[in-house]
Structure 1
């Protein structure tokens, strides 16, 4: 006869987060509360007791019903994205062998950039930073992702920045494709994120050395950022097209939707041809109306 665990799954998960994942007290408390809300919902939804075994039965339809209930209670877009991240992590822990239910966004025609909503951008950045091994690495990843979304940089451009950009002003000079240099405005939130990283990194930042460093002090590889984003999007239930480059797409799409001039946007993105910038005008208008419910950028 199987022994019944006297503690609810949400408490066991909280223990796992604190002991094995070394998450902060604040994170553990917030994630445990999300797990408790999901469990309480499932008890009423299914009409039966919920334990770690039965959690393997949760489907995408169950998650949609849960999020619908949370939205009826006044949950906003950003909070909904964070809630989904927390409950997916809980379900993944409950049955790591089971394939997790995925909630996909609307389809977009091939060839048209797929923007991410501001809520999804911030949930993704928070998830990546929260999973970092050290506080300074969390600050580094947060700063890199905000550069991609808040300044429209390519990942290679962001990681090519050197200590020469410090101290930061209202703009930075970026070396783009074909060695073409452009000046990009720095929003206050992006500037603060970079400064917070620079204050925490254990490695000296020399003018000729890379600004963003790896865990052992070498130049930060784009592979590490892509891997962190890939793992975070899986926990959040976001699609495979949610990549670091998609943050640049979101920067362009959101600015264009708020009335940015195509020529000005071309300069910001460093496109050699205006036709490369014009592709953003093809993004479905209905989707744009959805992503603009929140101001850009959400930082």
Structure 2
């Protein structure tokens, strides 16, 4: 049985706390509590933070020759932090991973300073690698529609309810701009019957909720799946079920899209999350207002949404170069 995000977060938390010195462990626990309750990080994000800080502290222990204490954390020099980063580079990790590790370490350092437990100035003194921000890679309107059409997979040896289920999930990703985790987190009660509601409440990152318009086509796709599903869909239980009746795994959704890429001639960048990118890009291209799109996507910062303006501008330039006689 697949481990839930909550279980993974609990396991990472226990591993992180178990490996610390006597005075550092309470500080780490306080930091994790703050991330969970004040910043309202999702279990998945909390799991990632805990794993990253575990790795940072374990590498510092190797460098220092013992498990670091609060005093040793405060006494770290920039050279110590550079040695940690160099050891990870030697392991072949990507610059993005190094940035993520430093983000966890700096978050913990800010917590120590806020609680009056010390100041880890070395973390701020060392520069992290600069990342080239890649643009989202949406698929075309026709390809997005094809991915969410059960007829695309009609030749596969799959039960009709499974094809309808996968199509309904993908319809939610493209038609409502949901993250995969948001779609799979929906309950049966959250989804109105066709013609009886035009919006749904979605729980996103940090347990923040938002209202999202529900297109009639998407409501029909979900209703078709519900009618075919062989399992009883209780009101407060997960709407989408796996082959054995348990909650549907994101990996199954990823596998469904992968199986369609070849038939549709799509690149590897055509993933379930690319449908969310497509939702935003196609809305923007049709004249959608950037702040409205931010609300629909559930982005906390407008700068996160603004990356889609660059995607739209890049497509315009491609069209210009391809069509203008003097381009």
Normalising by the residue count of structure 1, what TM-score does the alignment of the two structures yield? 0.58
Aligned match for 2:180, one of 135, 140, 155 = 155
Inter-partner Cα distance in structure 1 for 2:157 and 2:295? 34
Pick the structure with greater CA Rg: 2
Which residue matches 1:232? 260
Aligned match for 1:146, one of 171, 183, 203 = 171
Aligned match for 1:198, one of 219, 226, 229 = 226
Which residue matches 1:124? 147
| Count of residue correspondences | 183
For structure 1, the residue ranges without an aligned partner over 5 or more in a row are 1-108, 292-299
Inter-partner Cα distance in structure 1 for 2:218 and 2:157? 19
SS in 1 for 2:148: helix
Which residue matches 2:274? 246
Which residue matches 2:138? 115
- Report the CA distance shift for 1:166/1:115 in structure 2 as closer, same or farther (over 3 A): closer
Which residue matches 1:63? none
- Report the CA distance shift for 1:122/1:158 in structure 2 as closer, same or farther (over 3 A): same
Do the aligned partners of 1:171 and 1:183 also contact (CA within 8 Å) in 2? Answer: yes
Q: Which has the larger displacement, 213-222 or 113-122?
A: 113-122
Deviation at 1:131, TM superposition (A): 2.9
- Report the CA distance shift for 1:155/1:258 in structure 2 as closer, same or farther (over 3 A): same
SS in 2 for 1:184: strand
Normalising by the residue count of structure 2, what TM-score does the alignment of the two structures yield? 0.53
SS in 2 for 1:212: coil
Inter-partner Cα distance in structure 2 for 1:290 and 1:279? 17
Do the aligned partners of 2:176 and 2:214 also contact (CA within 8 Å) in 1? Answer: yes
For structure 2, the residue ranges without an aligned partner over 5 or more in a row are 1-131, 320-327
Q: RMSD value over aligned CA atoms?
A: 2.1
Q: Which has the larger displacement, 158-167 or 221-230?
A: 158-167
Do the aligned partners of 2:294 and 2:305 also contact (CA within 8 Å) in 1? Answer: yes
User: Per-residue CA shift, 1:247-282, capped at 9, x if unaligned?
Assistant: 000000000111111111111000000000000000
Q: Say which structure, 1 or 2, has more relative contact order (CA 8 Å, 6+ apart).
A: 1
Deviation at 1:201, TM superposition (A): 0.7
Do the aligned partners of 2:148 and 2:168 also contact (CA within 8 Å) in 1? Answer: no
Higher fraction of helix: 2
Which residue matches 1:213? 241
Do the aligned partners of 2:180 and 2:273 also contact (CA within 8 Å) in 1? Answer: yes
Which residue matches 1:189? 217
Do the aligned partners of 1:151 and 1:186 also contact (CA within 8 Å) in 2? Answer: yes
